[in-house]
Structure 1
Amino acid sequence: MGKRYLIRSGIAPTDVKTPEDMVVNPRIGGNVGNLIYAFSVYRNLTTENVEIIPDNYRINEEDATEINEKYDAYIIPLADAFREAFVKQLKSYTKLFKKLNIPVIVIGVGLRAPFEPNLEEGFSFDKEVKEFVKAVLEHSSMIGVRGQITADYLTSLGFKEGRDHMVIGCPSMYSFGPALNIRDTTITKDSLIVLNGSKLSPDNVLKFTEGISMEYPNYYFIPQWQKELKMTYLGNEKLKKDTEYYPVDITHKFYEEDRVRFPINAKSWIDFLKTADLAVGSRLHGNITATIAGTPSLLIPKDARMRELTDYHHLTHIWADEITEETTLAALIEKVDFHSPEKRQKVNFDNFIQFLELNGLDHIYRHETEAPLDKKLEKAQLPSLVKPINQLEPEQLAGRLESYEKRRNKELKGIKEENKKYKTKDRKNKKKIRDLEKKNKHCKNVLDRKEIKIVRKLGDFLRKN
Structure 2
Amino acid sequence: MKILVVGCRWFLDDQDVSSRDFLWLMKRAGGNTGNMFIGEAVKRHLERLLPDVEKIRFLGRWEMFHDADITPEWLDERFDAVVMAAANILNGTTDYGYLAKFLEQTHLPFLILGIGAQGEDTSARISVPRGTQRLLKLAAERSRGIGVRGPFTADVVRRLGIHNIEVTGCPTMYLRSGEDARINVPAAGDISRAALHMMRDRQEYPLHQTLKTVQRQMLADCVARGFDYVVQTNFSEAWTAFHKKIEKRHLDNITAYLGPEKIPARDLEDFLLNRTHIFFRYGDWKRYMETRQFAFGARFHGNMMALMCGVPALWVTHDTRTRELCDLLHLPHVEPDEIEREGYRFDRMVEKADYSLFNKTYGEQCARFDTFFMKNFDTRP
Pairwise same-fold verdict (TM > 0.5): yes
Q: Which amino acid aligns with 1:7?
A: V
Instruction: Identify which of 15, 37, 54 aligns with 2:58.
Output: 54
Residue 86 of structure 1: aligned partner = 94
Residue 262 of structure 1 corresponds to which residue in structure 2?
A: 278
- Cα deviation per residue 1:32-90 (whole Å; 9 max; x = unaligned)? 01122222221221155312112245473763221222211111111101123422xx1
Q: Would the alpha carbon gap of residues 340 and 13 (structure 1) be closer, same or farther in structure 2, given more than 3 Å must change?
A: farther
Partner of 1:244: 258
1:6 aligned residue (4, 7, 12): 4
Residue by residue over 1:237-285, the C-alpha shift from the partner in whole angstroms, topping out at 9 and shown as x without a partner, is: 74967733699xxx79554322111111122212211111110110000
CA RMSD in angstroms, aligned pairs only: 2.8
C-alpha change, 1:116 and 1:215, in structure 2 (3 Å) is: farther
Q: What are the within-5 Å matches in structure 2 for residues 429-444 of structure 1?
A: none
Q: Deviations over 1:289-345 (max 9, x none)?
A: 111111110110111111110110111111111012723121332344144433331
CA distance in 1, matches of 2:194, 2:241: 20
Residue 186 of structure 2 corresponds to 185
Q: Does structure 1 conserve the Cα–Cα contact (< 8 Å) formed by 2:9 and 2:35?
A: no
Aligned pairs for 1:287-436 (under 5 A) are 287-324=303-340, 326-360=343-377
Is 1:25 aligned with 2:28? no
Pick closer, same or farther for the CA change 1:352–1:333 going to 2, 3 Å. Answer: same
Going from structure 1 to structure 2, the CA distance change for 1:254 and 1:106 (only over 3 Å counts) comes to farther
Matched residue type, 1:41: V
Name 1:206's counterpart in structure 2: 215
Please give the TM-score of this superposition, normalised by the length of structure 2. 0.82
The residue matched to 2:292 in structure 1 has which SS? coil
Structure 2 gap segments, 5+ residues each: 203-207
Q: Does 2:239 match 1:230?
A: yes
How many percent identity over aligned positions?
A: 22
Could you tell me how far apart the structure 2 residues matched to 1:13 and 1:341 are? 31
Equivalent in 225, 240, 246 of residue 216 of structure 1: 225
Task: Name the TM-score, length of structure 1 as normaliser.
Answer: 0.68
* d(CA) in 1 for partners of 2:78, 2:266: 48
In 2, distance between residues paired with 1:212 and 1:115? 29
Match in the other structure for 2:205? none
Verify the 8 A CA contact 1:206 1:246 in the aligned structure 2. no
CA apart distance, 1:190: 5.9
Higher Rg:
1
What's 1:37 paired with? 38
Residue aligned with 1:324, SS: helix
CA displacement 1:91-148 (0-9 Å, x = unmatched)? 11111121111111111100011134333xx42x353332221122232121100111
Q: Secondary structure at the match of 1:117?
A: coil
User: In structure 2, what is the Cα distance between the partners aligned to 1:106 and 1:91?
Assistant: 15
Of stretches 312-321 and 228-237 in structure 1, the one that deviates more from structure 2 is 228-237
| Aligned counterparts of 1:349 and 1:252: Cα–Cα separation in 2 | 46
Whole-angstrom CA distance in 1 between matches of 2:306 and 2:336? 20
Q: Rate the CA distance shift 1:246–1:262 in 2: closer, same or farther, 3 A.
A: farther
Distance in 1 separating the partners of 2:215 and 2:339: 10
Cα distance change on mapping 1:345 and 1:246 into 2, 3 Å:
farther
Contact 1:284 1:306 in 2 (8 A): yes
Match of 2:123 in 1: 117
Residue in structure 1 matched with residue 73 of structure 2 by the alignment: 65
2:133 maps to 1:130:
yes
Query: 1:297, 1:338 within 8 Å by CA — same for their partners in 2?
Result: no
* Aligned counterpart, 1:371: none
Q: Give 2:103's aligned residue.
A: 97
Give the direction of change, closer, same or farther, for the CA distance of 1:357–1:209 in structure 2 (3 Å limit): same
Distance in 1, Cα, partners of 2:260 & 2:83: 35
- The letter for the 2-side match of 1:307 is R
- Cα distance change, pair 231–100 in 1 and its aligned pair in 2 (3 A): farther
- Distance between the aligned counterparts of 1:165 and 1:214, measured in 2? 44
1:418-453 deviation per Cα after TM superposition (whole angstroms, max 9, x unaligned)? xxxxxxxxxxxxxxxxxxxxxxxxxxxxxxxxxxxx
Verify the 8 A CA contact 2:13 2:282 in the aligned structure 1. Answer: no
Cα distance in 1, alignment partners of residues 214 and 61 from structure 2: 32
Partner of 1:450: none
- Residue 81 of structure 1 contacts residue 109 of structure 1 at CA under 8 Å; is this kept in 2? yes
Query: C-alpha distance in 1, partners of 2:90/2:260?
Result: 27
1:77 and 1:107 in contact (8 A); partners too: yes
SS at match of 2:333: coil
Q: Which residue identity is paired with 1:137?
A: A
Deviations 1:203-257 (A, max 9, x none): 223123214314522x11011017354343345674967733699xxx7955432
Q: CA deviation at 1:12?
A: 5.2
Q: How many residue pairs were aligned?
A: 348
Q: Which amino acid in the other structure matches residue 176 of structure 1?
A: R
Q: 8 Å contact 2:315–2:332 — kept in the other structure?
A: yes
Question: Residue 193 of structure 1: CA displacement?
Answer: 1.1
For 1:172, give the aligned amino acid.
T
Match of 2:158 in 1: 155
AA in 2 matched with 1:150: T
Output the CA distance in 2 between the equivalents of 1:252 and 1:108. 42
Equivalent residue for 1:377? Answer: none
In 1, distance between residues paired with 2:356 and 2:279? Answer: 26
- The equivalent of 1:171 in structure 2 is 171
